[in-house]
């Protein structure tokens, strides 16, 4: 992707939070709300940053609400409704009062963080993820957000491939669809 690596990183966080914390279907199976939202959120964030601190149950519940809101943006883009996606991101930016701030930590160079009101973990991630999605929607890559098109799967993805032809959340779903198509052909 062409945008900067921090934007890339927060968009990946948005994808990961939506996929870990919102109910629906995953790779052909029902995906219920995780019983332990704290553990689910911790696992999601540590998948991207292993040193991330443990998320409490209360924070996990707040992050699940953030994830529910973020999902609507992916759904709108997948429906081809960029207007609705942009509106939803604007509402999130306003609600979270996303404020840019240059920070330098962990040996990284100066980079932009986006904090929300109240200084809570969920508020900060909501502001950061909303800003990341805003950068994507405002760029030539606005159609790179998506919802898996495999049957019985509604996990989301960001397409960072060169040609932008991704349609599935995972290679598992891609293979499921390929196998089903192959079976249909050989049956015919």
- C-alpha 157/C-alpha 95 separation (Å) is 24
Q: How much is the CA Rg of the chain, to the nearest whole Å?
A: 17
Choice between 120 and 149, CB closer to Zn ion: 149
Tell me 35's DSSP state: S
Choice between 118 and 182, CB closer to Zn ion: 182
* Shortest Å distance, C-beta 146 to Zn ion: 10
Binding site for Zn ion (CB under 5 A): 148, 150, 153, 155, 169, 173
CB–CB of 100/113 below 8 Å? yes
Choice between 16 and 131, CB closer to Zn ion: 16
* Shortest Å distance, C-beta 172 to Zn ion: 7
- C-alpha 5/C-alpha 127 separation (Å) is 17
Q: What angle do CA 79, 159, 121 make, to 5 degrees?
A: 90
* Shortest Å distance, C-beta 91 to Zn ion: 27
* Shortest Å distance, C-beta 21 to Zn ion: 16
Choice between 40 and 126, CB closer to Zn ion: 40
């Amino acid at each position: 992707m062409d945008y900067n690596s921090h934007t890339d990183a927060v968009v990946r966080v948005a994808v990961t939070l939506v996929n870990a914390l919102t109910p629906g279907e995953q790779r052909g199976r029902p995906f219920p709300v995780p019983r332990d939202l704290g553990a689910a959120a911790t696992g999601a964030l540590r998948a991207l940053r292993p040193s991330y601190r443990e998320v409490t149950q209360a924070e996990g519940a707040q992050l699940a609400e953030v994830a529910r809101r973020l999902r609507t943006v992916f759904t709108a883009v997948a429906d081809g409704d960029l207007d609705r996606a942009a509106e939803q991101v604007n509402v999130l930016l306003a609600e979270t009062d996303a404020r840019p701030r240059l920070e330098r930590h962990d040996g990284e160079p100066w980079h932009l963080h986006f904090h929300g009101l109240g200084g809570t973990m969920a508020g900060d991630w909501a502001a950061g993820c909303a800003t990341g999605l805003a950068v994507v929607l405002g760029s030539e890559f606005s159609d790179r957000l998506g919802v898996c098109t495999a049957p019985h799967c509604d996990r989301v993805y960001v397409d960072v491939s060169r040609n932008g032809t991704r349609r599935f959340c995972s290679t598992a779903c891609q293979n499921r669809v390929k196998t089903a198509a192959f079976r249909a052909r050989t049956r015919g």
